[in-house]
Each structure stands twice: as C-alpha cells, then as structure tokens.
Amino acid sequence: MQGKRSFHIQTYFQQRRKDEFWAKFDKQGDPVRFRQEEDGGPKGPMITIWENGILNRYDPRQDLLQYSRVPNTEHGLEGLEEFDPETIVQEIHALVEAGEAVMETDPLARYAKLMTLRVTYKNRRLKQVLVVNPVTKFVVRVDDYWGVGKGDVAHKGIEVLEYNEAMDPKLFVADFPKGAILVDQVTQEVGMAQGDMTEKEVAAEVVRQAMEAWAQEDYTKAGKLFGGVPPKWFTEFDDLRPVRIISIGPATPMPGSGNKVLAVPCTIEIEDNGRKSPVTLTGVTVHPLGTQPSRWTIRDLGNRS
C-alpha cells in the first residue's frame, strides 16, 4: 500500500456502516482534497468536502436547510489519518518487526479467495484482523477489536473499495441541496474577540450585542455574531425578533465542556400584531470558533419558554 494517490473507503463501527471517504493525495502523501459522507439519519448523509484549506459541510440534522464554509488547514481535524489504510498497515508492520505484536494466518478465511491474518499485541487489549488478497498481497479490510475476552467488545473497521484509481471530479464539488443557506466563515470575520473578558463575560456580551443588532435589524452585525449566517437566516425566526432585551445571563458552562461551551439565558420582548410579550430563551449556546478560539459566536438559540 505504499505510494497512495487516492482511496475510496468505507468505515464501520460495531459492525455497522459509518463513514464513506474519497480522498486524493499529492506525491508526498498529503491530502489534496477529500469527501466524507456520514450517516445523518432519515434525512440523508452529512457531507463534508475539503480542498485548498476550505471545509464545506452540509448537516441534514440542522433545523434549517443550511451548510457551512469554514477555513481549515488542519486536515487531521477530520481524523482522516485514522482511516488511512496505508498508514495503518505500516504501523502494524512496524510493531510486528519490533516484537510488540504477533501476526498469524487464520485458517478460517472470512471471504472466499482471500486470506485472513490476525494481529495480537503483547501489552494491549487489542486484536486486529486483516483481510488480504493472497495474489497481490493487497489489504482490502482491517478490523480492530478492543476488550477481547473481557465481555463487551468495541469494534471499528475499514474496507478499501478503491485504491489509486481515477475518481470523478464531481465528487469534490459541493452538491448540497438547492436553496440551502450558506453560513460563511471564510470571506468575513465572525464572532467577537474575547480580549480581557472572562469566558462567562464574553458569552453574555456576545448574546447582548447580537440581540441588540437583531432588534435594530442590523443583520450584517447580527449575522457575524451568529457564526456567519446571512440576513435570510433571520427571516426564518421572525417570531423571535427582539423589540428589546429584558435580561441576560449569567452564563453557565454546558455539562462536560469545561468553559468552552456556555449557555446564556436571555429574556427578550417580542411583538406580534402590535402585542408585546416576553419570551425566555433558556440557554442561548455560545462557544469559541474552532479556527479562532479567541473569538466567540452563538451556536443556537436553545429552548424557549
């Protein structure tokens, strides 16, 4: 598997299909572009396309039909290396050579005309199963199992569908649903700089300024504080457009997030057919940008009461 130029793989988790990847690489083996399709439920797959340091992602699980475009020069953010069949095979070979693992032929082949190899480790509760073409010596599948012999067994697998074969360029074109709203973090600076504020202070300030801008129909400023959404996004929430802010805060960390995702309760006054009434958003979610952790933005509006 040395000298990869492209691969098309299917990953598995607990014996079920998980992600499908198409990836192309340069002569040094670095990613040039990739496409990932991940199970998104009944609405279809979550699609991620990366090229030239730009990541486009469509998630059908969102309440609104939208997709995001963000700067991303760290390919490892998507865990592509974890699913690189060449790298995995090289790591296994190195551990066997160093005497840290043992590889044996399994007489009970998983697939007709293919050979099965089992790899066991001396100091790890991990077993790997490799399926190999005995003629070409090409590895077509790798399965990892943890907790072997100790009850529950965790599993993940990779199946190589194509390797160093020509790929349709259309795979790497953002073919998201027509009419999807673009959340753009590439052509504009979004969020608010934290500066000297604490995490809780900046979270509350982001919400305050965003609600004020929304109330004033300044959708350019509000859109940046909401992560780069366009003015069209706000028309989907006309029933929540603030007339004024009644109260904000205090911000509290979401469980398990440390201080990286905070919920900010916010009570606003809205107007419907000339009638004003209060609405409480029990936890507007605010977090730092993944590409610029010193800038904070609103992720969602939380629940209302």
| DSSP calls for 86-148 | HHHHHHHHHHHHTTSEEEEEESS-SSTT-EEEEEEESSSSEEEEEEE-TTT--EEEEEEEEST
Task: Write the CATH number of the domain with boundaries 192-300.
Answer: 3.10.450
Task: Give pLDDT, residue 74.
Answer: 64
Show Cβ contacts of residue 112 under 8 Å, excluding neighbours closer than 6 positions: none
pTM greater than 0.75: yes
Instruction: Name the stretches of the chain with pLDDT < 50.
Output: none
Task: Give pLDDT, residue 247.
Answer: 95
Question: Which residue do the tokens 């969602």 mark?
Answer: 300
- Return the closest-CA partner of residue 80 out of 148, 132, 24: 24
Q: Enumerate the domain spans of the chain.
A: 6-169, 192-300
The domain 6-169 having CATH identifier 2.50.20.10: the answer here is: yes
Task: Give pLDDT, residue 263.
Answer: 94
Task: Give pLDDT, residue 73.
Answer: 67
Q: Are 215 and 241 in contact (CB under 8 A)?
A: yes
For residue 212, the surrounding DSSP H or E stretch is helix 199-215
pLDDT in tens, 112-121: 889 999 999 9
d(CA 61, CA 38): 12
